[in-house]
Chain A
Amino acid sequence: MSDQNRLGVFKTYKLYVGGKFPRSESGRVYEVTDSKGQWLANAPQSSRKDARDAVVAARKAFGGWSGATAYNRGQVLYRVAEMLEGRKDQFVREVAASEGLSKSKAAAVVDAAIDRWVWYAGWTDKIGQISGGANPVAGPFFNLSTPEPTGVVAVLAPRKSSLLGLVSVIAPVIATGNTAVVVASADAPLPALSLGEVLATSDVPGGVVNILSGVTAELAAPLAAHQDVNAIDLTGADPALAKELEIAAADNLKRVLRPGPVDADWAASPGTHRLTAFLETKTVWHPTGALGAAGSSY
């Protein structure tokens, strides 16, 4: 049978929620096109109920993931990079189509995305040293601050950078032990949905990352108002939407990371601000055990 006669097998893109690949509860899909308007695939158009289910899955996964050792989380994140490396060709194709890049430029983007996972994997057991520490206090106490994950973080992925930008917002959230509900770029969701398949095969426990595709505003509104979401990253929201979401998020005092410039350069060194944006500081006071006038202490 020659190649011309073979019927292509199209992929059904699905959501990634709680370690499973459901369709949208609403049954809706929408057409995803490449940068020239050519049809690429139908992606699920999630509803607010999908967002709710994703939050439930993320909450369920939080205990195990935040309780895992930082070293273990680093290994798991490194494993994501390994899996991504093995499926590089697929991501190069999807990124090239989504963002209108040449094959070589898309390959460079995918390489950078893989390296970004490795970079954040290294941070899991080091972030404590830079954002926590021993505080000098005026009393006979050891005073130690340690960072702890905030909880369930809703992440609005960048609108343009469909893979590198996406990885750059997901990895820092989960590196520190948070769990994430990610709303993929509405125009270029395919690399995000494929990333779900990578995460599912990378030892990342189900529910730690949940990926939804659809209309950003429709999904972001219930997430911003959700009482069981602890923080929201507004990167993918336009200024008007971001303002509205920040007001909704204030109701249960969510941590809010405001959006940066739309055409941010995701290839630039990311720094640690995304890691520290979703951390809470726990401080412990402990007596030094100083034993009185002689000045001896433990």
Chain B
Amino acid sequence: MPTTAPAFSDATASDSALRRFLFGLPGVDAVGLEARAASLGTRSIKTTAKAYAIDLAISMIDLTTLEGADTPGKVRALAAKAVNPDPTDRTTPRTAAVCVYPDMAATAAAALAGSGVKVASVATAFPAGRAALDVKLADVRDAVAAGADEIDMVIDRGAFLSGRFLKVYEEILAVKAECGAARLKVIFETGELSTYDNIRRASWIGMLAGADFIKTSTGKVATNATPANTLLMLEAVRDFRAQTGVQIGVKPAGGIRTTKDAVKFLVLVNETAGEDWLDPHWFRFGASSLLNDLLMQRQKLSTGRYSGPDYVTVD
């Protein structure tokens, strides 16, 4: 399976070649990056544009529940919400996917059958990724067999931070091979990568290894998706497509809770990667509470009255 674009086949030939390639990537101007992300966050999106952005954001949500306390009942409730987010307004779009742990993937798949909402399952010893490769691959196989359409894997941050980039790369390759038809999202856990340069390097490892999506975070550490790290990853997928013609999706996850935040991310997408990415196939939000805020804002736009938490579900 030719997962590496031909232009970069040399880069992944050996550990030292990959290291040379990654350290040859341009350094990130941290101040400039954050200033750019902040300035794009000041755009004022109102009325019809806001209505469009809200519906687009809803359709991009991977509605997520990743708790130890998850039950089949909770997953089914979440699935019902994903298919029909606002029962009082049937014009509300459905979300892109429901994201669960592998043991809940079958429950989610049964609940979502025929709805058009995808089943995403985290795998590879999520969220820490601290397990042997065989165990991780078995985790992926389980999830795919249970009906997952999308696999959210975590990279081995320990290997990445100690400079064993080829190990990270080969692990993603192996997981990709297990995925079969399922789309693979690669989580870098940007909050643990320390520097923007590392996030850029991790993005390129993921893209070279054949990720269908690159994803910021697990939502389980202190720092999750930020406008700056998402902007950086959007630049990476833009550059990758420019050089190889292969389009890759981006998924910020964790900490995006308000409509205002979500709209800021959509502005980043449009201004950085471009309109091609303004589609649930290429951009996702990993979120749970965000959906309720989007629904309340949607109700505000349609009724003119501020809505409240009594008018959306308690998750």
Contact = CB atoms under 8 A, between A and B. Distances in A.
Given A59-B308, A227-B307, 8 more contacts: A59-B309, A225-B304, A226-B306, A227-B299, A227-B306, A228-B309, A229-B308, A251-B305
Chain A: number of interface residues, binned into ranges: 10 to 19
Interface in A35-59: 52, 55, 59
Q: Which of A52, A55, A227, A251 has the most CB of B within 10 A?
A: A227
A52 B305 contact: no
19 contacts: A55-B306, A59-B308, A59-B309, A222-B305, A225-B304, A225-B306, A226-B305, A226-B306, A226-B308, A227-B299, A227-B305, A227-B307, A227-B308, A227-B310, A227-B311, A228-B306, A228-B307, A228-B310, A251-B305
Interface of B: 299, 304-311
A251 B311 CA distance: 13
Interface in A196-231: 222, 225-229
Contacts of B309: 59, 228
A288 B226 CA distance: 59
Interface in A232-274: 251
B315 to A, nearest CB: 17
Contacts of A52: 306
Contacts of B307: 227-228
Contacts of A222: 305-306
A142 B176 CA distance: 66
B286 to A, nearest CB: 24
A208 B299 CA distance: 26
Contacts of A59: 308-309
Nearest to B304: A225
Contacts of A227: 299, 305-308, 310-311
Contacts of B304: 225
A225 B306 CA distance: 7
A17 to B, nearest CB: 15
Contacts of B310: 227-228
Contacts of B306: 52, 55, 222, 225-228
A205 B311 CA distance: 26
A226 B307 CA distance: 6
B50 to A, nearest CB: 13
Contacts of A225: 304-306
Closest CB pairs A-B (n = 4): A228-B308, A225-B305, A227-B308, A226-B306
A70 B116 CA distance: 52
Nearest to A226: B306
Nearest to A152: B308
Contacts of A229: 308
Nearest to B311: A227
A251 B305 CA distance: 10
A55 B300 CA distance: 15
Contacts of B311: 227
Contacts of A228: 306-310
A152 B8 CA distance: 60
